Amino acid sequence: MKIALDAMGGDYAPLSPVKGTLKFLENSSSNIEVILVGDKNILYQELGRSIPSGIRIHHTTQVVSMHDHASKAIKSKPDSSIVQGISLVKDGVADAFVSAGHTGAIMATSLLTLGRIEGLNRPALAAYIPTPKGGKILCDVGANPDARPEHMLQFAIMASTYFDHVEGKTKPKIGLVNIGTEPSKGSDLYQEAHKLIKKELRDDFIGNVEGRHLLDSKADVLVCDGFVGNTILKFAESWVNIFIKQLNRQITHKKYYQMTARILEPVFSNLKKLYDYEEFGGVPLLGVNGVIIVSHGTSSPKAVKNSLIAAQKCISENLLGDIQNGIQEHMVGSN
């Protein structure tokens, strides 16, 4: 198994990609190779002249920055780590590509280079959301700010397949994120999406789910357009961080609180781990003809390691093939 990793992507590259790779390989079998895609001179400085076993470098001379136009990256920077890494997947040199770089450029290059799976209208990003009763999948979380009802149906199908791979639960329950539980609630898009999902996935669809019940509803998969999903995801990330900071401030305010905090430290540690996005690595770009994992731009070595684990799992469990089967079973609409 060969996984290509964008060694130049993310706020902490190349340090985080390199350290994350080394952590990943510590507990991996000997038949896994990570291809670090990036400037070999910079990577040699991080790794040393002696390249560790399980690592190969694919030299590139360009980097897609956050200021570059996403759809033009493939033409303006053909020798960038993103374009070259995705090309390795197309050429069969790598089985997957992982990047914490420019999300828009990753999506645009993946579409142009790998294409969509047959019958799919739009790829989507699916995020894993931990809850006390098990995780949920939120889809789409940013690939499609504008969507149509048939796109939402396909998001539901792909996210359900991904949930099965993550949680091992076939036929997960599907909910449509909305401002009310009644079928008539929401915009025309959400009303029509409700009708279509109910028609095609009747046995699994539980209806609309309001924002206050996203974490405790019976739905395993939460479907929405990319604008709504990205807003929910980033709010959740910021809220958890703010809550932890405020908790720390309160604890250090009085000596009595500090004494209590020492006793409860294992509880706080477990809670932080439960809601830490770094524990779950990146999210898959569902619907393109290849395994592409999109990581957080601020990925630490731990997040990079877990993104590589996510890619490994997608490859070994044939997530791509299962999504292809699901889409072909419910082919709806056109581009």
Q: What is 121-279's CATH topology?
A: Isopropylmalate Dehydrogenase (3.40.718)
Residue 292 host element (H or E): strand 291-294
Q: Which two tokens stand for residue 188?
A: 């025309």
- Give me the CATH code for the 1-119+287-317 domain, please: 3.40.718.10
**Which residues of the chain, if any, have pLDDT below 50?**
333-335
Q: What is the pLDDT of residue 335?
A: 44
User: Could you report the per-residue pLDDT of 13-67, keeping only the tens digit for each?
Assistant: 999 999 999 999 998 877 999 999 999 999 999 998 788 999 999 999 999 998 9
Q: Tokens 């499609």 — which residue?
A: 144
Question: Are domains 1-119+287-317 and 121-279 of this chain identical in fold?
Answer: yes
Work out the burial of residue 139: count CB atoms within 10 Å of its CB; fewer than 13 is exposed, 13-18 middle, 19 or more buried. Answer: buried
Q: What is the DSSP letter of 117?
A: P
CA–CA dist 186, 133 (Å, integer)? 28
Q: What is the pLDDT of residue 269?
A: 66
Indicate the SS3 state at residue 168: coil
User: Could you report the per-residue pLDDT of 216-240, keeping only the tens digit for each?
Assistant: 999 999 999 999 999 998 888 777 7
Write down the pTM of the prediction: 0.88
Q: Tokens 């969509």 — which residue?
A: 116
Domain ranges across the chain: 1-119+287-317, 121-279
Q: Where are the alpha helices (DSSP H) in the chain?
A: 15-26, 40-47, 73-76, 81-90, 103-114, 149-167, 188-200, 226-251, 255-274, 301-316, 319-329
Indicate the SS3 state at residue 43: helix
Q: What is the pLDDT of residue 234?
A: 86
